[in-house]
Each structure stands twice: as C-alpha cells, then as structure tokens.
Amino acid sequence: MSTLKENLGKRIQEIRKSKNLTQEKLAEIIGIDTPNLSNIERGKRFVSAETLEKIIKSLDVREKDLFDFEHLKSKDDLINSINTILNESDINEIEYYYRMMNLYRESL
C-alpha cells in the first residue's frame, strides 16, 4: 500500500507530464532544485506547504485534484474492486462489462 507522500508524488508527476513540463522546468518555476522535485515525485521527501502551493499554482490545478489518488490503485486493489462489482451484478451486466472490456482491449 502506498503512502500519502508516494501517492502525492505520483500525482504531481502525472499532472506535470500531462502539462508537458519537464522536472527541470517545473523545479525552475517553483524555485527548487531538480533533485528535490525528483525526491518529491518519487515519494522520498514530503513537499512543504509553501512548495505545494507553488506546485498547485504552476500546474493550474485545484487542491483536491492533486489529492485524487483513486486511479493509482494497485493491480490487486483493482482486481478486488472488479470482483466485487461482478459479484454484485446480474448476468446481463456481466455480459455488458465483458463486451466493453473486449472492445477496449481491441482498441489498444
């Protein structure tokens, strides 16, 4: 199970990349050195409140979006969630999920 600082670091990295920013560029914008940002993104160092505010502003995100880790679930967590959904579904829903999964896999 990931820690808060690991999840926050992954989320910062994910948003930074979606904005086409390098670590070097974001570090420059928020006024820290690149190794420091790297440590934050890898969950090795927790970000200070001041730096967190700069990251939020620089990435142009809402605070709550930075702490949205739902999609960062582990493979085992995802399998458990899928199994729960399937166990609570009727056969028509299961067939629907199966078709959607196959369509998605074919599109890759």
pTM for this entry: 0.67
Question: Do 62 and 78 fall within a single domain?
Answer: no
Task: Report which of 64, 57, 25, 38 is spatially closest to residue 47, judged by C-alpha positions.
Answer: 38
Question: Do 77 and 62 fall within a single domain?
Answer: no
Question: Do 63 and 77 fall within a single domain?
Answer: no
* Mean pLDDT score, 35-52: 95
Task: Report which of 104, 56, 101, 62 is spatially closest to residue 82, judged by C-alpha positions.
Answer: 101
Question: Do 50 and 88 fall within a single domain?
Answer: no
CATH number at residue 48: 1.10.260.40
Question: Do 86 and 58 fall within a single domain?
Answer: no
Question: Do 94 and 63 fall within a single domain?
Answer: no
pLDDT number for residue 1: 60
* Mean pLDDT score, 6-35: 96
Question: Do 66 and 77 fall within a single domain?
Answer: no
Range of the domain at 37: 4-71
How many of the other CB atoms lie within 10 Å of CB of 32? 19
Share of the chain above pLDDT 70, in %: 98
